[in-house]
Chain A
Amino acid sequence: MAQPTDDARHGHAEREAARRRVRANWLLSAPALAMLAFAASGPLLIMLVYSFLTPGDYGGIVWKFSGEGWFQVLFSRDIFDETVGLADAHLTIFWRSLELSILTTLLALVLGFPTAYFIATRPREQRALWLFLVTIPFWTNLLIRTFAIMELIRNEGVINSILLWLGVIDAPLQMMFTEGATLVGMAYVYLPLMVLPLYAAMDRLDFRLVEAGYDLYATRLQVLRKVILPLVKPGVIAGSILVFIPSLGAYVTPRLLGGGRNMMMGNFIELQFGQGRNWPLGAALSITLLLVVMLALVVYVKNANKGGAGHG
């Protein structure tokens, strides 16, 4: 019998079948990918092109190459003598975005860690319900939740009313339109994004390891620092990045709570497409924001892979 050729033929047939399966997988995914390419990924490339064009007088662009968009991200020219200087206003906005995003992340971590731990230590049949309680605000309208915070901290809002009624203060505290308001609002809005991955990590935590820690004379704080924290570190990083990314690109919350003077990146970008009428600058700013986010994502993916290998 001509077995080698037989083998080769069968091998070929199997490879052919595998190739067919892969083709089917691509065909099934194709409609979704086409939609995403049309209305999500593709436009990003066009935006990249726009960042190198010249702004039109009434918004839009003129099809003429210009590096000005990118130049203006960091620098400004004096109107009169054309001297180049750092664009202080822009830097302030970048710094505020970064600062508020980091503070939001830390605040969410400080609040979210005990909360996730609390859920993970409930009896198993209760956990889904507690988790659901975290999930509801996560999926409910961001605008409404920001509005709820507005109502609390407005000059005529609930907090000021109560404090005035108690006689703690004589005049309402100005809480709206401050960086603090944006910070509290974002922490409130993004807290579930911290709790969910933290919980996922803690759910996998083997409490026999905690028992072993106590058995070996560790105090509660030592167990927390030396046993629990290292084991749930992937969850901490995942949660932090999941909060950091939307904070950095936040638009609604800083606009409503921070007001015009406390703009963040998101509002600044939008401005370029509204009153600013500088689309190339807006495009360049968007890509800058995207790059920072991608950097955070790379950290996240690296961390996730490491975590995965550690668990496997």
Chain B
Amino acid sequence: MADAARAAERPKRPRKPFSVQRMPGFATVAVICFVALYAPLFPLMIYSFNAGESIAVWQGFSWRWYESAWANEQVKEVTIRSLVVAAFASGISTALATLAALGTTRTASFKGQTVIYVMINQPLMVPEIVTGVALLIFFAMIKVATGYTGLAYLIAAHTAFCIPFAYLPIRARLEGMDKTLEAAAADLYATPWQAFRRVTLPLMAPGIVAGAMLAFVISLDDVVITELVKSAGQDTLPTYMLGQLRRAITPEINAISTALLAVTVALLTAIFFLSRSKE
């Protein structure tokens, strides 16, 4: 009797505390996902440093493919074109998106507001291939009519599809902003312009910078629309790479990809920290 009572009192073998949030196997799948998201990028990056000509056989470390990409006149040309298009597109789209965000946030809902939202987000909803084909048709008409075949078509196309990406962080920033701050500025003798210049603009600046960077990344990475809209000899870096990928691949492509990845990740990290610096 006494022994049995003692046995019952004795703590049972230690059990893991019951966790409400745990789901068996979920963590494993999640870890596999995170690994799978990044793992394929490593061979790509590693072979960019291959001394040999192959992207399958490792022949020692070397910078030669970075040097060869740097020396490649065509790569230089398409890279500059990509940067020019991205700079114009992100600059213009951010300016337009900033104005639109000011017109559509923190206002009493008004007639037609939904139309504005739908139009701004339209590039996110319509498949790129559809937009690309439509632009191909439209710009072909203009090209015939005007004879102009310059870079403006690409810039216009990129600007349009960059607008929603620039708009999102700016709008988020504005909506998170306390409206009484502007009321306070007005109360403290600021004219509407002063209130905008001294309070609204500085507070929305991180959103604008994040929007511009996002637009830049999006423009820099675009393949489909560019491929359809570009005139002859207007390859950007991604369309150049797309062309190269159908040929015999050398680690030069890996080098270019790695460099592009590095730029993108750097910009994204900057955006990440910008959006965190709330106060």
A contacts, CB < 8 Å to B: 18, 21-22, 24-29, 31-33, 35-44, 46-47, 50, 60, 111-112, 114-115, 117-119, 121, 128, 132-137, 139-145, 147-152, 154, 156-158, 161, 188, 191-192, 195, 207, 210-211, 214, 220, 224, 245-246, 248-249, 251-252, 256, 265-266, 269-270, 273, 279, 282-283, 286-287, 289-290, 293-294, 297
Contact = CB atoms under 8 A, between A and B. Distances in A.
Given A35-B159, A210-B21, A286-B134, A29 B214 contact: no
B123 A36 contact: yes
Contact of B130 (A25, A119, A256, A289): A289
A43 B134 contact: yes
Nearest to B25: A114
Nearest to B30: A118
A141 B125 contact: no
21 contacts: A22-B110, A28-B100, A28-B102, A29-B120, A40-B122, A40-B161, A43-B138, A50-B137, A114-B28, A115-B34, A133-B34, A141-B220, A144-B241, A144-B257, A147-B253, A157-B56, A210-B21, A256-B242, A286-B133, A289-B127, A293-B125
B1 interface: no
B117 to A, nearest CB: 10
B122 A29 contact: no
Contact of B238 (A143, A249, A265): A143
Contact of B261 (A141, A149, A283): A141
Given A134-B37, A290-B127, A147 B134 contact: no
Interface string B94-127: 0111011011100110111100100110110111
Interface stretch (B67-75, B182-190, B201-209, B264-272): B264-272
A29 B276 contact: no
Given A156-B56, A214-B20, A144 B99 contact: no
B265 A147 contact: no
Given A36-B122, A293-B127, 17 more contacts: A21-B110, A33-B116, A44-B126, A114-B29, A121-B21, A128-B272, A133-B34, A147-B245, A149-B40, A152-B40, A152-B43, A154-B56, A188-B37, A224-B23, A245-B127, A282-B133, A290-B126
A209 to B, nearest CB: 10
Given A33-B119, A114-B30, A44 B43 contact: no
Among all A-B residue pairs, the 6 with the closest Cβ atoms: A249-B127, A28-B103, A118-B30, A39-B160, A43-B134, A43-B138
A144 B138 contact: no
A151 B55 contact: yes
Nearest to A45: B134
A152 B69 CA distance: 23
Interface in B35-93: 36-38, 40-41, 43-44, 47, 54-56, 92-93
B163 interface: yes
